[in-house]
Amino acid sequence: MKALFLRDVRLGIAGGGATVAVVFFLAVIATIPFGIGPDLNLLSRIGPAILWNGALLSALLTLDRLFQADRDDGTLDLLILGPTPLPLTVLAKCAAHWVASGLPLVLAAPVLGLFLALSPTAIGAVMATLLVGTPAITLIGAVGAAVAVALPRGGLLVSVLVLPLAIPVLIFGVSATYGAVNEPDPFLPPFLILIALTLFFAVLGPVAAAAALRASGD
């Protein structure tokens, strides 16, 4: 698992997955002020939701790469037949994919938050919620990527399958961020639910993705 994790991290970085995700994230955030105008109060009020939506769309952009390259070069068949349980293999690949593509989004959020006139508290809350919430998007995406891996152009299908399941992550991520900024709103309950969603999909996602990969291999 360690060797697979390190291999996928290297391939993800060398393949430009982090660059594509961050550039798309930047493009989404940078165009928002032009669309709604230079109202800094409005930007700071809706900024956390914009950052979360941008991060979600950027994460969806790279999910189709999770298993496709391994299927193209035959590595996927070896992983399915290997001695390591397939759910653990999928979990290692999800962790590597998040480090290569999801973690850069978390690190880019403070810089992009300046475009939206966010306060330091809001930027910190966005980073914290993205840190615990974006792994859930990757784990959900693993199921969609496994279902679509046998299709020649399954990238769009992955996004269609994953987006409805990722909506609860988006809702609680934005709610927790607003709770940290707006005093009457609670921060801890939605933040803990966000962590619970990530832990839930950390168990369910690899198992469901492994079943879909075996079915595609058959």
Q: What is the pLDDT of residues 32-50, one digit of tens each?
A: 878 877 777 888 888 899 9
Q: What is the pLDDT of residues 54-84, one digit of tens each?
A: 999 888 888 877 887 777 777 777 888 878 8
Q: Are 17 and 100 in contact (CB under 8 A)?
A: yes
Query: Mean pLDDT score of the chain, rounded to an integer?
Result: 85
Query: Which DSSP string corresponds to 113-142?
Result: HHHTT--HHHHHHHHHHHHHHHHHHHHHHH
Q: What is the pLDDT of residues 133-150, one digit of tens each?
A: 999 999 998 888 888 876
In this prediction the pTM is: 0.88
